[in-house]
Chain A
Amino acid sequence: DTAVSQTPKYLVTQMGNDKSIKCEQNLGHDTMYWYKQDSKKFLKIMFSYNNKELIINETVPNRFSPKSPDKAHLNLHINSLELGDSAVYFCASSLLSGEAQLFFGEGSRLTVL
């Protein structure tokens, strides 16, 4: 069983569309994250949820909206996609909020044309 799973793995779409990426973890962790990895491999945190509550919201356009229906799921919805949104988006989880060791999913590569 994959510990942190994301779908879809690849996503190609046109500018202006709306898309979602789903993430599920079966580790029983309380905290989940979204990280963005740009074309230069730089990883930056976007959001963090602890037990369904938003605890970190970095400077991210409000076109990005995370949703956590329960503590095992954290989805990312993106409205009005722009070329600059093209990146690999990683979901991660940790046992507790503030626990630094993260477990990552395999990433979702988003390409906006």
Chain B
Amino acid sequence: AQSVTQLGSHVSVSEGALVLLRCNYSSSVPPYLFWYVQYPNQGLQLLLKYTTGATLVKGINGFEAEFKKSETSFHLTKPSAHMSDAAEYFCAVSEANTPLVFGKGTRLSVIA
């Protein structure tokens, strides 16, 4: 069965600094990979997804993630953090015809 590990339950960066949120997955077949963001008291919103094709995926709000099969990773990055990026971020994996399995989330804090 597929699983997701997000390294670091809390990441703190300065405004303007690089954001790096780590995600490793386990899957027996080529996975579909997702990053979702949850702002306080809101539902989850899709940031980006990888299904097939180009391994570098661009999402909304300047975020991108790279699928690295050899490392079983799908880390999320953004070159320059903004205060509005402060939120909870979830990595998720799905195999064909199975529901999404989420990681435990990483809370991103952005310091002015």
Chain A interface residues (CB < 8 Å from chain B): 4, 33, 40-45, 48, 56, 90, 92, 97-98, 100-107
Mask: chain B, 53-96; 1 = CB below 8 Å from A; 0 = not: 00000000000000000000000000000000000101010101
Report the Cα distance A90→B36, complex, angstroms: 14
Interface size, B (range): 20 to 34
7 A-B residue pairs with Cβ-Cβ distance under 8 Å, sorted by A, are: A92-B44, A98-B96, A100-B34, A100-B51, A100-B92, A100-B94, A100-B99
Q: Which residues of B contact A (CB under 8 A)?
A: 32, 34, 36, 38, 41-46, 49, 51, 88, 90, 92, 94, 96-102, 104-105, 107
Is A33 within 8 A of B99, CB to CB?
A: yes
Measured between beta carbons, the chain B residues less than 8 angstroms from A97 are 97
A101, B94: Cα distance in complex, Å: 9
20 additional A-B residue pairs with CB within 8 Å, beyond A40-B104, A104-B44: A41-B38, A41-B105, A41-B107, A42-B104, A43-B105, A56-B99, A90-B43, A90-B44, A92-B44, A98-B98, A100-B34, A100-B49, A100-B92, A101-B34, A103-B46, A105-B43, A106-B41, A107-B41, A107-B42, A107-B43
